[in-house]
Structures are given as C-alpha cells and as structure tokens.
Amino acid sequence: MQENSRWHAFENADQIAVAACQQILNAAERAIADHGMFKLVLAGGKTPEHVYQLLSQADTNWSKWVIYYGDERSLPADHPDRNSVMANQAWLSKVAIPAAQIHTMPTEIGTELAAAFYQPLVAAALPFDLVLLGVGEDGHTASLFPGHQHKQDELVHAVYNSPKPPQERITLSAAALSASHEVIFLIAGGNKQEVVKHWQQGADLPVARIQPENPIDIYILREYLQFETTPDLPSDYCGQSGHALDSVNQHRDNMPR
C-alpha cells in the first residue's frame, strides 16, 4: 500500500468533490496566514472539474492564490481538451485571481519550448502548498505514464509518446509533484478497481512515485477499495464522508509547514 497515506472512502463523486473543495479552502487559509500566498497545482478530469465548479462559489482571498498545472496537452491555447480551458471555464474566469498569478503551460508554442519555459516557474514556486492529482486506469498521474523514462534532474518533462491522445504533452515530474505540503488524489470515474488494488499491493506505478514528506490524502469511491486484498487499512482510513472530512481537518491542524 502507498506509504504515508490516508484513504478516505465516499459513496459518490459529489461527496469527494465537496470534501476536496473544503480541504483546498482550509489549506488556502492556512497558507495565506503563514506565508502570504497559496500555491495550488491543478489536475484535469471530470472530478477536478466538479471541485473547480464548487470553488467558483467560494468566499476566499483570491488575490493571494497562485495557480499552476500538473500537466497539459500540446494543443492550441483555446482547445477544449486542454486542462487550462476546462479550469478557466469551470472556475478561474469567475473569480478574482490576478491573471499574472495563473501560470498556464504554454504548450501551443511547442512541447520542448513549453517544458523549458515552465521549468523555472516551478523551481521558483517550490514547495507548493497543495497538489491535486487523479489516477488513470493504467496507474498514471498527471502525464507520468508507466514505462516512460525521464531525466531525474528535470522538474518538467516533455512527453512525446503518451498512450492517450494527444501523444505530446508536458508534465511536472514526480519530484516536483511530491514537493508540496499537501497532496490530494481524487479517484472517481472509470474502472479503477484493478489499478487501486495494484497500488495498494505496492506495484511500481507512476502514482506510487508521488512521495511528499507529509501524508497524502486519497479520496476514493468506496466501491474501488478491495477489502479482500487489503484487510488492514491504515489507521487513518475513514469509512464515511463526514468522518473523512473531520480527519482531514484534524490532521491539517497538526501538520508542520
């Protein structure tokens, strides 16, 4: 099982989105109080989109938020399949985060150039305050795919052979994604039972390479948990959505910055 983790089981994706939204807002409040800004890395996908829709209705000090992306497809800037377009439509265009604090990945200029452009932005930002991630059915997260090899000293990788279209993308490295005070995985949608089982059993998957210093929070549909193969869930496993959120808040209050 993923080391240094807390698993939170929910009945549906709506509960996951609500809990994740609340954790993000709590993290923002703490980060702004601690060092004057909140550095958040966004993920793509349907469940994050629901989180972003909820965030668009939140009351917070948006002027202190700084937005980064975990990965992006090499597509025109206005292409509907880009993570930045989805996040902008669901949330960012509706709140008062200064445009200069929203750091999109400029993949429209070319994959290699975009990775080179984004690398110093990431280096200057580390550590992030919170990273939001998903998990694919093959165990990928962001655009870190099984079997791919990248240079160990890179914070941003150019990807040319993605098994999912489009083949060209850029992605933050496992090291960059791990350099965060908080990491949340959102697992809902698709057929994730098998990959979750392999992840829990210690398979060498890209998702398992995200190893921050503090425990990660895994928000997951209850149906994806393989109780017959993982009889001993960690002590921080939460079986009900309300208890899960209480657990998140309790741990966050005691977390070193």
φ, ψ (nearest 5 deg) of residue 25: -65, -40
Task: Tell me how far apart the alpha carbons of residues 71 and 62 are, in angstroms, rounded to a whole number.
Answer: 23
Q: Locate all alpha helices (DSSP H) within the chain, ordered by sequence.
A: 13-35, 46-55, 83-90, 111-125, 174-178, 193-200, 241-253
Pairing relation of β-strands 156-159 and 169-172?
Answer: antiparallel
State the chain's maximal CA–CA distance in angstroms.
49
61-117: pLDDT as tens digits: 999 999 999 999 999 999 999 999 999 999 999 999 999 999 999 999 999 999 999
Say whether pLDDT at 228 is over 80: no
Output the pLDDT for position 201.
Answer: 87
Say whether pLDDT at 120 is over 60: yes
Q: How confident is the model at residue 225 (pLDDT cuts 50, 70, 90)?
A: confident
Q: Helix, strand or coil for residue 94?
A: helix
Q: How confident is the model at residue 2 (pLDDT cuts 50, 70, 90)?
A: low
Q: How many CA atoms lie within 13 A of 90 on its CB side?
A: 21
Please, which residues bridge with residue 185 across strands?
133, 218
What's the gap between Cα 102 and its chain centre? 16
Q: Helix, strand or coil for residue 128?
A: strand
CB–CB of 122/68 below 8 Å?
yes
User: Residues of the chain with pLDDT > 90: what percent?
Assistant: 76
Whose CA is closest to 184, among 234, 220, 219?
219
134-143: pLDDT as tens digits: 999 999 999 9
- Amino acid at residue number 106: P
Q: How confident is the model at residue 3 (pLDDT cuts 50, 70, 90)?
A: low
CB–CB of 88/120 below 8 Å?
no
Task: Tell me how far apart the alpha carbons of residues 183 and 210 are, in angstroms, rounded to a whole number.
Answer: 9
* Helix count and strand count (H, E) for the chain: 7, 9
Say whether pLDDT at 234 is over 80: no
Does this model's pTM top 0.85? My answer is yes
Q: What is the mean pLDDT of residues 229-251?
A: 40
Task: Tell me how far apart the alpha carbons of residues 220 and 5 are, in angstroms, rounded to a whole number.
Answer: 12
Task: Tell me how far apart the alpha carbons of residues 132 and 25 are, in angstroms, rounded to a whole number.
Answer: 13
Whose CA is closest to 57, among 16, 20, 100, 90?
90
Q: What is the mean pLDDT of the chain?
A: 88
